Amino acid sequence: MIAAAISKKEYVVYILASKKNGTLYIGITSYLIKRIYEHKNKLTDGFTKKYRVYNLVHYEIINDVNDAISREKQLKKWNRRWKMDLIEKDNPGWRDLYDDL
């Protein structure tokens, strides 16, 4: 009997910023590199294109889709200061993390 490998899907909750202390956007995806590329290259209409929000400043990898959706909703309800504190905890310079992916 051959055991089949089970592919474990990961989900990513991410925060984009227009600049340090600028406009923020929170999203969720199962393919972070592709999704951020789409934002940066204005391939999808919407908030990020309209407000030029392209810099990946924070992301969290989550294994369960329901947990990821819950985390995204939680972050969206946070006040701005909490979101900024979360970003600055691991990324105090608000560096674009896309190049590290």
Q: What is the CATH number of the domain that holds 87?
A: 3.40.1440.10
- pTM equals 0.91
Query: Which phi and psi (to 5°) does residue 27 adopt?
Result: -145, 180
Q: 29 in a domain, yes or no?
A: yes
**pLDDT > 50? residue 57:** yes
Are 36 and 53 within 8 A, CB to CB? no
Q: 3 in a domain, yes or no?
A: no
- The pLDDT of 41-50, averaged and rounded, is 96
- Based on the structure, what is the number of domains in the chain? 1
Q: 2 in a domain, yes or no?
A: no
Q: What does the pLDDT look like over 70-92, one tens digit per residue?
A: 999 999 999 999 999 999 999 99
Q: What does the pLDDT look like over 2-31, one tens digit per residue?
A: 444 555 799 999 999 999 999 999 999 999
- The residues, any chain, with a CB within 8 Å of residue 68's CB and separated by 6 or more, are 11, 12, 13, 28, 62
Are 58 and 90 within 8 A, CB to CB? yes
Q: In terms of residue numbers, what domain contains 81?
A: 11-100
Q: 4 in a domain, yes or no?
A: no
